[in-house]
């Protein structure tokens, strides 16, 4: 393993700001850990881009994080986890954790083998086939019904998480899953937990599975096994984005108001 220490930061990244849902859970579970987040807000969304492009973007961000000597990397993006996870693991010796396996472990643990699970995600995540492959690898027998939702990430990045527009789009995407008897709904994008209150109100019959909490617990176990968990101290939180917009500031305040030590735009070209 690279020369890292418990005091080093955990690196987290996403195509935009949806990964702040994962960062929030990590901070809640591991409040003593230093955190560095990169949101690629200039190039969001990743879900409509090719695998090669997602891999290239992910490698650039990982180089940015490795330059800051992070002790672990959390790929808080389902599309990047689908396409780039193995490439990232080959770039570094530090632990690398995606968000797909934690979500599916929760499904396998809580749902009966006869259950029907719906997966809402970006087109890229669904086209990758990563979720069905991982479910089979984890021994899950549940039926998985997929629904691409290409409009949700742009809506959320612009600050729309409630109201008539969101409700109409969410209904359009989820009604087919209702008709297919879905009981469990996997939020297959880290942006989607911001719509969870709306989804619960519209579809109380769904059992929602959000990978953020599961990913945080997996990270905690990985750090403990590698003796890399920071025992005490006040966490330092650094947020970097590739494009600073008003919606970026709004979502940052929604999640981490008053807790952020660095909040700035950063360019990836030098990495």
Mean pLDDT by 10 residues, the chain (271 residues): 82 94 95 96 92 97 96 97 96 96 96 97 94 96 97 90 95 98 96 95 96 94 95 91 89 85 86 50
- Please tell me which residue in 62, 73, 77, 121 is annotated as part of the active site: 77
pLDDT value at residue 1:
45
Query: Tokens 């499904």 belong to which residue?
Result: 107
CATH topology of domain 10-98+213-265: Rossmann fold (3.40.50)
- What is the Cα–Cα distance from 140 to 115, expressed in whole angstroms? 10
166 as an active site residue: the answer is: no
Residue whose pair of structure tokens reads 């030098």 in the numeric block:
270
What pTM value is reported for the model? 0.91
Q: Mark 166-194 as b/e (b = at least 16 C-beta within 10 Å).
A: beebbeebbeebeeeebbbbbbbbbbbbb
pLDDT of residue 4: 85
Work out the widest C-alpha separation in the chain, in whole angstroms: 53
Element (H or E) spanning 58, and its range?
Answer: helix 51-66
| Tokens encoding 102 | 């934690």
Active site residue 149: no
pLDDT at 192: 94
CATH of domain 100-211: 3.40.50.1860
What are the strands of the beta sheet with 72-75, ordered from one edge?
A: 96-97, 72-75, 10-14, 35-39, 237-241, 262-265
For residue 125 the two structure tokens come to 């995540």
Check residue 270 and give its pLDDT. 58
What is the predicted pLDDT for the residue at 20? 93
Query: In angstroms, how far is CA 71 from the centroid of its own chain?
Result: 18
Domain with CATH 3.40.50.1860 in the chain: 10-98+213-265, 100-211
State the pLDDT at residue 158.
Answer: 85
- Which one of the listed residues 22, 97, 189, 216 is annotated catalytic? 189
């Amino acid at each position: 393993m690279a020369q890292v220490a418990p005091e080093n930061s955990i690196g987290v990244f996403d195509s935009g700001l949806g990964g702040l849902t994962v960062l929030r859970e990590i901070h809640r579970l591991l409040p003593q850990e230093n955190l560095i987040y990169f949101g690629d807000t200039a190039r969001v969304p990743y879900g409509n881009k090719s695998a090669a492009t997602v891999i290239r973007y992910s490698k650039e961000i990982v180089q940015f994080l490795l330059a800051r000597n992070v002790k672990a990397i959390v790929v808080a993006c389902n599309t990047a986890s689908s396409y780039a996870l193995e490439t990232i693991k080959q770039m570094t010796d530090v632990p690398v954790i995606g968000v797909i396996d934690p979500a599916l472990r929760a499904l396998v643990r809580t749902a009966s083998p006869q259950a029907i699970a719906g997966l809402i995600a970006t087109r890229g995540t669904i086209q990758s086939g990563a979720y069905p492959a991982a479910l089979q690898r984890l021994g899950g027998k549940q039926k998985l019904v997929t629904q691409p939702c290409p409009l949700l990430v742009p809506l959320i990045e612009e600050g729309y998480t409630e109201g008539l527009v969101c409700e109409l789009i969410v209904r359009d995407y989820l009604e087919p899953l209702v008709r297919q008897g879905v009981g469990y709904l996997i939020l297959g994008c880290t942006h989607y937990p911001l719509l969870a209150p709306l989804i619960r109100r519209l579809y109380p019959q769904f059992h929602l599975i959000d990978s953020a909490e599961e990913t945080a617990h997996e990270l905690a176990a990985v750090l403990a096994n590698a003796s890399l968990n920071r025992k005490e101290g006040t966490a330092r939180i650094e947020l970097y984005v590739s494009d600073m917009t008003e919606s970026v500031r709004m979502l940052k305040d929604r999640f981490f108001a008053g807790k952020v030590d660095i909040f700035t735009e950063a360019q990836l070209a030098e990495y």
